[in-house]
A and B are shown apart, each in its own frame.
Chain A
């Protein structure tokens, strides 16, 4: 029962948010702003409690008090004080607020952009190279491909209907891949009538992909709605309203 006020408040907020589907209202906007404020507040508190306090402030405080002990020498370890240096790059961000000292903030911005660019380069290489290799797929249903060169599921027995189906699937994949790449090929004129068919097929492949994305978007929105309906029907109606109402009316 300790959660009772929280559940009633959550149910109220949920219903108010749903009311927007009918009409915008003052109470909807009030709830919207309160939710945003609460989210920011909770995130600040949790970030302090779970990140900054144990990982940044606690080592500094322990070192300052001399309670941090180096396990190798059993003597006080003052290394935790080095965490104070993290304040310098952190505070550099705030110079963006000053026209005069703005250039100081570019030091930290440049550091972050450079780091991110380096990481992105490595990330993309490791991400895309296996994709390139995996796009080379077997097309002959009568031959068993070398397993070392095969990505994805195992190849069926050669010559069987399953091998034919796999080969056709791979052929369709290859056609869609090439046609889609061709659709975005702007270096030469592609308005020749022989080049129109692959362009059209490429566009069709893109539309199928976008259709799948749109379908999955609808399903996600449905899941959001269902989550709230389940909360209202189970956590609030069944476990709160149907339990509390008999007590109120019955005097129990």
Chain B
């Protein structure tokens, strides 16, 4: 069946859908985006040039095909992505079948649902603000299709007014609607984790992470922010070296070792989802935060994978002493210096000349200074015996090369040592007192065990590129190596303003996150307790539910009654019956514009379908007589109603 495209409101409906769906374009498969855009473009062109739209069969086939593709793509796992994918496929096809007012209304509601799915992605301020804009636009479209040719400005104004009126309801729902423990409706935001540390560290890994400017975590210090070179954020400790890569290697026990220390710092960290379990902490953390545990090498692991923003509070010692070398640590170090014979030889040479571990460490550091090592993001490739190649041939590397080589040398010389991966430095936000640590701050250093101080941090990068640990990598790399986002003039003349703005925005959205996530299930419970409702007890909960339900019911009934009363008062029975007649025709795609007079409408109907002509004439004649001529008596109104009831378009 070919039918001509109806011309009304297609561009506005497509705009609403597009704005609602735009945030998903970032992580939707390209073919879905293409699918949607193709369908919409065709709709637009078809409406403009009056081309035929696909019939029912084609539409059904497309629907089945699209949904099948999405489901097969997601491995028939019904997660958030698949859900959004199916929604988008539908939203792409929906405009193809828009014919009646009802279709248009459904399309608008589809846009609303798609807007809500934005919460699957994130609850950040940016997303929330964007959602407000989409709701504004969609509501404007809703106004437009119900009250067609109002001026654009007035439509937007009305839409804005509706949103403002909804604001109190929104706040009440925000406060009282049962909070779920994590994410929206228990769905975790499904953004894919950025690169970050994994439990395996190979040469080149860190230099890759450094190229990413996304935020790793933010830290709010209770007091002063420590100086740059003391801001080592500990993540993973690597024990096992296989000649090339470092791995975690041990399952460190849970028992807390006695740690002595000084310069205690209290702080709170908000970590971005990285889809691992590591939690980062300022060196050296005292104990694990809630819902996490600490291993004996001061590695903190969350009990759950970090799939959404997580905030935890910690205390750390800036100066510390970890005590005795423990038994499991000794076994973890046993027989690990293998391969790379030249490096082993060098280390043994130092160990032969000195017995004092401090002296050996000094020799090694001295070696890096004296032999002209270079600090670079793009070292030449090192294939076999990478440490030998690095130490004696290329002599160019990034922090992981230095740390790896240094730890290897130490082990060969008989000094217990391990690699620590984490972040160094971070950037203070001038608009608010917190520190932003980005992936580009990723760093690797070494810890050696010394009699006097226990596990002691030695950062070989400090001797090769001392500025790195004082001010950050952009100050040590050669200008053409500095990643684009760290270059000072990356936005041209407006750089200062844009950088300032980005900082300001980060401060604003961070405090939004704090405020938003602070109102958790527990906070809600507190609030309810304050107004005398205890939802911990079954009785209290039942009471709340009953009260809420009955309140909704009463309110709904009141509103419904008011609406019915109003419409009764306003509409006379003749008009009501006529509207029924119009609605019947609307259902077959022959709707009446609100501004269309009855005689005019009858002419339109007669022109559209021959079989409607007698009905249109009869109904319209009676309607005009009853509504516009002298007052009607009850019988003729009854007859008119009967006539309308009998009518079937």
Q: Is B one of A's binding partners?
A: no
Residues of chain A having any CB pair with chain B under 8 Å: none
Residues of chain B having any CB pair with chain A under 8 Å: none
